[in-house]
Amino acid sequence: MDINQIAQMAGVSRATVSRYFNEGYVSQEKRDRIRAVVEATGYSPSQHAKSLRTGKSNTVGVIIPKINSASVSRMVAGMTPVFAEKGYQVLLANTDNDAAREVGYLRLFEEKRQVDGVVLVATVFSEEHIAAMGDMSLPVIVLDQDLPGRSCVYQNDRGALRDITANALRSSEHPAYIGVFEEDESAGRNRHLGFLDACAEAGLDVPERAQMIADFTVDAGYTAAEELLEVYPEVDTIVCATDSIAFGAMTCLREYGRHVPEDVQVTGVGDAELSQIVTPTLTTVHHHYKTSGAEAARMLCEQLAGDTTRREVRMSYEVVVRNSTR
């Protein structure tokens, strides 16, 4: 079944059927006849042919760093209904935190023209990233990082860590920090700086041995906490860059006979579902990840509709105080 057969069965011209599928003007009588034939035959126009004709794929690319990340899944959950409402399908590209693969997907989307625009859920920005985005004619929205000169939606990570640390320091003299690699400007460097800001405001000088770097995993949180207990046994608060790290730290403390929060307080970032289930429940930062995903999707749709205004949106946050702090 093709468009010519649809036209013949409906008793209209091929051009009329084409206008019908492309939402052009067709009289109500002819529209009803074409619709009846389409419903009877189950015909669906070729998306590939339509793309060749219009130059649009009605697909957007979303490059994500880790498909099993709770924060990333919430961002994607915020994007998809916005794109669906505007008639766009979503093509996910998972990089497993590989910066080179991020650059590869950016170049692939530009060269193959498989998508009309891109949302990049970013972790780091290398010279290769900047060059790839500079070469792109497709609109690109950066999500979860602040990149000057680019439309982006990002979290206030420095402010969030400053506030949650300040809350814990009300009953703490020996805080420690477990963060992630600082090439990640948002989750790495800014969260670490927020911790240090709060400590400085409280008049506390945190030694280097009390500041650890770990991966984004429960196991890494356990290992880092274990090392902390060895090199900084007086620790009474562990501020963690993610909830996963915090879960690992709490497990380690329990196995080493340290009670949370009586002996050591623990905080996280992300407000994952488990933070309300673990014992004790976790004090954490709630970032509005789903809302930020929706905002990035709306921003891209506006650019695809012709609005090229550059915008930067910094999201708000909430410190959720639970039982892992005193």
The answer as to whether 325 is a domain residue is: no
The answer as to whether 326 is a domain residue is: no
Domain shared by 266 and 193, yes or no: yes
Domain shared by 211 and 272, yes or no: yes
In this prediction, residue 50 carries a pLDDT of 54
Domain shared by 214 and 270, yes or no: yes
The answer as to whether 300 is a domain residue is: yes
The answer as to whether 184 is a domain residue is: yes
Domain shared by 21 and 70, yes or no: no
Domain shared by 23 and 137, yes or no: no
Ordered strands of the 140-143 beta sheet:
89-94, 59-64, 117-121, 140-143, 152-155, 312-315
The answer as to whether 241 is a domain residue is: yes
Question: How do the pLDDT tens digits run along the chain, 326 residues long?
Answer: 788 899 999 999 999 998 888 778 899 999 999 999 999 988 877 654 555 455 578 999 999 999 889 999 999 999 999 999 999 999 999 999 898 999 999 999 999 888 999 999 988 899 999 999 999 999 999 999 999 999 999 999 999 999 999 999 999 999 999 999 999 999 999 999 999 999 999 999 999 999 999 999 999 999 999 999 999 999 999 999 999 999 999 999 999 999 999 999 999 999 999 999 999 999 999 999 999 999 999 999 999 999 989 999 999 999 999 999 99
Residue 97 zone, left/alpha/beta (φ > 0; ψ -120 to 50; rest): left
Instruction: Determine if the peptide bond prior to 175 is cis (ω within 30°).
Output: no
In sequence order, which residues have a C-beta less than 8 Å from that of residue 277 and are 6 or more positions away? none
In this prediction, residue 285 carries a pLDDT of 98
The answer as to whether 51 is a domain residue is: no
> Any idea what the Cα angle at residue 286 is, between residues 283 and 291, rounded to 5°?
170
| Six-digit token string for 83 | 């794109």
Domain CATH number, residue 278: 3.40.50.2300
pTM, entire model: 0.83
Angstrom distance (rounded) from CA 235 to CA 241: 17
DSSP conformation class of 263: T
Domain shared by 143 and 204, yes or no: no
Domain that holds residue 306: 57-154+289-315
Domain shared by 148 and 187, yes or no: no
The answer as to whether 251 is a domain residue is: yes
Number of structural domains the chain divides into:
3
Angstrom distance (rounded) from CA 93 to CA 61: 7
Domain shared by 40 and 61, yes or no: no
Domain shared by 295 and 244, yes or no: no
In this prediction, residue 52 carries a pLDDT of 45
Domain shared by 261 and 162, yes or no: yes
The answer as to whether 267 is a domain residue is: yes
Domain shared by 283 and 161, yes or no: yes
**CA separation (Å) from 102 to 40, 120, 126?**
45, 8, 10
In this prediction, residue 113 carries a pLDDT of 84
Residue type, 213: I
In this prediction, residue 97 carries a pLDDT of 87
Domain shared by 191 and 235, yes or no: yes
Ordered strands of the 265-267 beta sheet:
211-213, 175-179, 237-240, 265-267
